[in-house]
């Protein structure tokens, strides 16, 4: 039996983390038997982040390492039929989504003064009120520090929005022509990109990144298509 441990639902999303959602999509696509448990406090997890899997009592953290494990136990069910060219393009879009666009999504939630109260309610509601404000402000400072070290935090908001627009345009250009990230069929890379888009496009209330992403009709069409094909949605009730 496999257990997927994810964050609780928040912001209108039943799976608020794109990394958790992509693993749920992969497990479902592979037809593996699994259940889902939630953990509100990442400090209690093996690497201080979510998701992680419990497989035969072993805890495995980090979504990329989880994908490697799932590929092994499914005998190449995720990567086995991909060509070198598809792997190259898929890896490039993975890095665009998870190492660049993701951080702009983080900033649109955590570092927007008007949006931050939703973070306090959605991520810190389990903490007693007397310390909730301190904990959320402390976490926000850490996010701001990391965002600055990553490099994107050194830019103005308008510059960040232009970066996001270029990332989203690149995805839109690909899926408008091919319907998928690589080739003309569903692959593991669609779980990654669609999982990321769900967190932006279905986020409630919308952030500034939600507004930009939802300005691309082709991205909405792609997201709905992938969720429908896999049978897993990021929005709604858990």
What's the CATH number where 110 sits? 1.20.1050.130
Establish if 79 belongs to a structural domain.
Answer: yes
Looking at the predicted structure, is the pLDDT value of residue 129 above 90? no
pTM: 0.94
Predicted confidence band of residue 133 (pLDDT cuts 50, 70, 90): very high
Question: Is residue 170 exposed (0-12), middle (13-18) or buried (19+ Cβ within 10 Å)?
Answer: middle
Establish if 183 belongs to a structural domain: yes
pLDDT tens string 17-40: 999 999 999 999 999 999 999 999
Q: What are phi and psi of 44, to 5 degrees?
A: -90, 0
Residue 139: give the domain boundaries.
2-230
Report residue 52: phi and psi, to 5°. -140, 155
Instruction: Give yes or no for residue 238 having a pLDDT over 60.
Output: no
Q: How many domains are there within the chain?
A: 1
Angstrom distance (rounded) from CA 52 to CA 45: 8
Residue 12 belongs to some domain of the structure: yes
Q: Is 235 within the bounds of a domain?
A: no
Per-residue CA distances from 179 to 28, 81, 92, 158, 221 (Å): 20, 18, 17, 30, 9
Is residue 236 in a domain?
no
- Residues of the chain with pLDDT > 90: what percent? 92
Q: What is the mean pLDDT of the chain?
A: 95
Q: 42 or 72: which carries more pLDDT confidence?
A: 72
Residue 238 counted as domain residue: no
């Amino acid at each position: 039996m496999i257990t997927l441990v994810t964050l609780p639902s928040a912001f209108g999303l039943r799976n608020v983390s794109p990394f958790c959602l992509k693993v749920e999509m992969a497990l479902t696509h592979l037809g593996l038997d699994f259940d889902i448990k939630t953990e509100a406090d990442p400090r209690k997890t093996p690497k201080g982040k979510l998701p992680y899997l419990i497989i035969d009592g072993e805890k495995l953290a980090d979504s990329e390492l989880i994908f490697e494990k799932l590929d092994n136990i499914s005998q190449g069910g995720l990567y086995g039929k991909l060509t070198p060219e598809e792997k190259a393009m898929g890896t490039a879009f993975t890095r665009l989504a998870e190492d660049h666009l993701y951080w702009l999504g983080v900033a649109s939630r955590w570092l927007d003064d008007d949006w931050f109260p939703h973070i306090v309610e959605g991520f810190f509601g389990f903490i007693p009120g007397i310390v909730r404000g301190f904990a959320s402000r402390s976490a926000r400072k850490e996010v701001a520090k990391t965002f600055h070290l990553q490099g994107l935090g050194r830019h103005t908001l308008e510059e960040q929005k232009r970066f996001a627009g270029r990332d989203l345009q690149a995805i839109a250009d690909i899926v408008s022509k091919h319907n998928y990230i690589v080739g003309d069929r569903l692959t593991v890379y669609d779980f990654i990109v669609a999982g990321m888009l769900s967190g932006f496009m279905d986020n409630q209330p919308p952030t500034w990144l939600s507004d930009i992403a939802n300005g691309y009709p082709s991205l909405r069409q792609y997201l709905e298509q992938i969720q429908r094909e896999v049978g897993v949605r990021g929005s709604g009730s858990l």
